[in-house]
A and B are shown apart, each in its own frame.
Chain A
Amino acid sequence: MDLSSINPILLLASLIVAATPLLLAAIGELVTERAGVLNLGVEGMMITGAICGFAIAVNTGSPVLGLLAAAIGGAVLSLLFAILTQFALANQVASGLALTLFGLGLSSLIGQGYQGVKPPAFPKPEIPLLSDIPVLGPIVFSHDFVVYLAFFLTLGVWAMLKYSRAGLILRAVGENHDAAHALGYKVVRIRVLAIMFGGACAGLGGAYISLIRVPQWTEGMTSGVGWIALALVVFASWKPWRVMLGAGLFGGVSVLQLNLQAAGVAIPVEYLAMSPYLITILVLVIMSADRSRAPASLGKGFHAGT
């Protein structure tokens, strides 16, 4: 065993990178669910975002345009879900699952011809002064801007839900859509926007994997991150900061367990491999002992006539 071979600074820095796609997808799904819509298609939207972003980045040579395309791709795909569930009143669980399957298929169709292609390198701006701070600099201030985007997105969603009128309306729609409708709020319109926000975030998260974290395109490359994001929203009891904590924990323990393995720590590898799931669930379940509950209208269809 040689723990000294683990560099805590590099470990914390890669924790943040590992947590970012998860955080992006989960924060989008959180907004969707707070509006009362259960979209199980996160995985499908992520992988679609991953290939849309990849394809555009390769063709235009601009990774930033790629990210933008990923957000649009995810949002457009989620629009399909919105039409099915909000206008055709289809079952949300079934539509969400179908969206995941459709997204996986669509992405491998678009992805034909992008295998083995290298995307343009993502610019990693050095933040002057801040990135020179010892210890803190390399951990916090030496990332690509998407990491900060994810952080400020979390901050923004938290503030929006807690303090703004728009957040209040969104929560009202999620808690009791009939009451919100009676007050004159456009339930369907608000939900469609929330679904599209969720789709855009999932798309960004997917593109973070294909453009920055891995970076390459392979079919099925998100391999389950979307599902973990879904679970994270529930275990974080629909609270933005807890989602961030959960994403950090999951990303952190995933990276840590690989580090411990490489350092030859004498803990059986099976326990290390399952530790990210166990620890994340455990911590979030303990934290949600304060009786937080799901939005009351979550997963229920709404029709103005009923």
Chain B
Amino acid sequence: MKRRTLLASAAMALGLATAGIAEDKTKVGFIYVGPVGDGGWTYEHNQARLAVEEKFGDKVETVFVESVPEGPDAERVMTQMVLEGADLVFTTSFGYMDQTINVAKKFPNVKFEHATGYKTAPNVSVYSARFYEGRAVQGTIAGEMTKSNVVGYIGSYPIPEVIRGINSAYIHAKKVNPDVQFKIVWAYTWFDPAKEADAAKVLIEQGADVILQHTDSTAPQAAAQAAGDVITFGQASDMAEYAPKPRVSSIIDNWAPYYIERTQAVIDGTWESVNTWNGIGKGMVGIGEISDAVPAEVKADALALKESIASGDYHPFTGPLNKQDGTPWLAEGEVADDGTLAGMNFYVEGIEGTIPQ
């Protein structure tokens, strides 16, 4: 009898102890679409996760699952993460949108943060970066530097985020080079180095001497390097190992300040569902160093554009702009509203081809 009591109280003490630890530590989970070593999108999310660990030390525990397919299985991974005690979960790809909402419904006390989506709930925030601001800078460099006037663009999926990037790059390339033409290839993947390399090779074979990519690996950079006189831009991460050429600049995602802020909010109990969309000005989008392969005057133009976007003087989608079919979209001086941008599903005038529906 005595022994049983002893065991019971020991078990109880153990239970209390673990409960105590669980209360002290805030557990933050991350769902990644690619491997943490992709050198691009997921790499930067993971850097931000490490920044969270660095900042909070013992107060926070982070967990992550990489290469989670965008589909029903993501729901299982999220559920598992929550059952293991996560208080805050970052789901870092567009394709996790519905799954995040579904899981969030089941666990109203857990906070969710979904990247690049548009569906919110009382315990689901969305956050994204205004990558199209960086695309404007790339478009300027691309338009001024192309000799063949053909710019190749590797798209991942035809979602608003990618279409915004294409439009923004095109508008600004066209501005400095009226003869520029965009060839767009949809890879239907975020991460498949062999396919991305093939897409880049095809575009180069068809005359492109500038490659813009909206996929996550560095394979197009390697393909461009092998082809010779082709320039590229780092995507999501700096991809500086391909500088100074082919990589002449890059868009760098900087999620760390946001992740730290949101984790702090959960610790303080002040977390609320928000819709965050920051750009160059707030530092969520960084422009990687423009390399020496870019002529000085082109670099100056690009930096001037970056400055005016950062200060808010200039919006990359400023009228007059028409849609692809010629119907007017923005009047002279008019600026696109965030709602239209968030759901953008049309090309601007001048881009050839149709968006897959």
Identify the A interface with B (CB < 8 A): 5-7, 10-11, 14, 18, 21, 108, 111-112, 115-118, 209, 213-216, 218-225, 254-255, 258-259, 261-264, 266, 268-270, 273
Which residues of chain B (192-209) have a CB below 8 Å from chain A? 192-195, 197-199, 201-203, 205-207
Q: Does B117 contact A (CB under 8 A)?
A: no
B37 located at the interface, meaning its Cβ lies under 8 Å from any Cβ of chain A in the complex: yes
By a CB distance below 8 angstroms, the chain B residues around A111 are 37
Which residues of A have CB within 8 Å of B183? 262-264
Cα distance A258–B152 when bound, in Å?
12
26 residue pairs from A and B, CB less than 8 Å apart: A6-B206, A7-B205, A11-B205, A14-B198, A14-B201, A108-B37, A112-B37, A116-B218, A209-B193, A214-B219, A214-B223, A215-B226, A216-B222, A219-B37, A219-B38, A221-B194, A221-B217, A255-B198, A258-B198, A258-B202, A261-B184, A262-B202, A262-B206, A266-B354, A269-B356, A270-B188
Q: Are B241 and A218 in contact (CB under 8 A)?
A: no
B246 CB, min distance to chain A CBs, angstroms:
12
What is the minimal beta-carbon distance from A291 to any residue of chain B, in angstroms? 35
Assembly CA distance A21 to B188 (angstroms): 21
Say how far A249's CB is from chain B's closest CB, in angstroms: 15
Smallest CB-CB A-B distances: 8 pairs = A219-B35, A269-B356, A116-B241, A258-B202, A219-B37, A221-B193, A223-B192, A273-B188
* A21 contacts across to B, CB distance below 8 A: 194
B132 within 8 A of A: no
Question: Chain B's nearest CB lies how many Å from the CB of A266?
Answer: 7
Q: Is B353 an interface residue (CB 8 A)?
A: yes
Q: Is B9 an interface residue (CB 8 A)?
A: no
9 new A-B pairs (CB below 8 Å) besides A115-B39, A262-B202? A14-B198, A209-B193, A213-B197, A219-B36, A223-B194, A261-B186, A262-B206, A263-B183, A269-B186
Known A225-B194, A255-B198, A261-B185; contact A216-B206, beta-carbon cutoff 8 A = no
Residue interface mask B233-247, A partner, CB < 8 A = 1: 000000101000000
Q: Which A residue sits closest to B353, measured CB to CB?
A: A264
CA of A209 to CA of B217, assembled, Å:
14
Q: Is B109 an interface residue (CB 8 A)?
A: no
In the assembled complex, the CB of B325 is this many whole angstroms from the nearest CB of chain A, namely 15
- Inter-chain contact A5/B37, CB cutoff 8 Å: no
CB proximity of B195 to chain A, nearest CB, Å: 7
Find the residue from B36, B197, B223, B352 having the highest chain A CB count within 10 A.
B197
- Complex CA–CA separation, A222 to B36 (angstroms): 16
User: Which chain B residues have a beta carbon within 8 Å of chain A's beta carbons?
Assistant: 34-39, 67, 152, 158, 183-186, 188-189, 191-195, 197-199, 201-203, 205-207, 217-219, 222-223, 226, 239, 241, 352-354, 356-357
- Give the docked Cα–Cα distance between A271 and B311 (Å): 44
**A5, B222: Cβ atoms closer than 8 Å:** no
Q: Are A254 and B191 in contact (CB under 8 A)?
A: no
Are B356 and A268 touching (Cβ within 8 A)? yes
Q: Is the CB of B184 within 8 A of A218?
A: no
**Given A6-B206, A116-B218, A268-B356: A220 in contact with B185 (beta carbons within 8 A):** no
Measured CA separation A117–B39 after assembly (Å): 11
Q: How far is the CA of A213 from the CA of B196 in the complex (A)?
A: 11
Residue numbers in B under 8 Å from A215 (CB-CB): 222, 226
How long is the Cα–Cα vector from A219 to B34 in the complex, in angstroms? 9
Measured CB to CB, the nearest residue on chain B to A114 is B37
B37 touches A115 (CB 8 A): yes
Q: Are B38 and A216 closer than 8 Å at their CB atoms? A: no
How far is it, in angstroms, between the C-alpha of A110 and the C-alpha of B201 when the chains are bound? 29
With A220-B67, A223-B192, A263-B206 known as contacts, the answer to whether A258 contacts B219 (CB < 8 A) is no
B67 to chain A, nearest CB (A): 6
B241 surroundings in chain A (CB, below 8 A): 116-118
Interface centre among A209, A259, A262 (most CB of B within 10 A): A262
Name the residue of chain A whose CB is nearest to the CB of B201: A14
Pairwise interchain contact B193-A218, C-beta atoms closer than 8 A: yes
* Distance from A215 Cβ to chain B, minimum over Cβ atoms (Å): 6
CB atoms of B193 and A223 under 8 A apart: yes
Let me know if B205 and A220 touch, CB within 8 A: no
User: How far apart are B141's CB and chain A's nearest CB, in angstroms?
Assistant: 21
Q: Report the minimal beta-carbon distance from A199 to chain B, rounded to whole angstroms.
A: 20
Q: Which A residues touch B186, using CB under 8 A?
A: 261, 269, 273
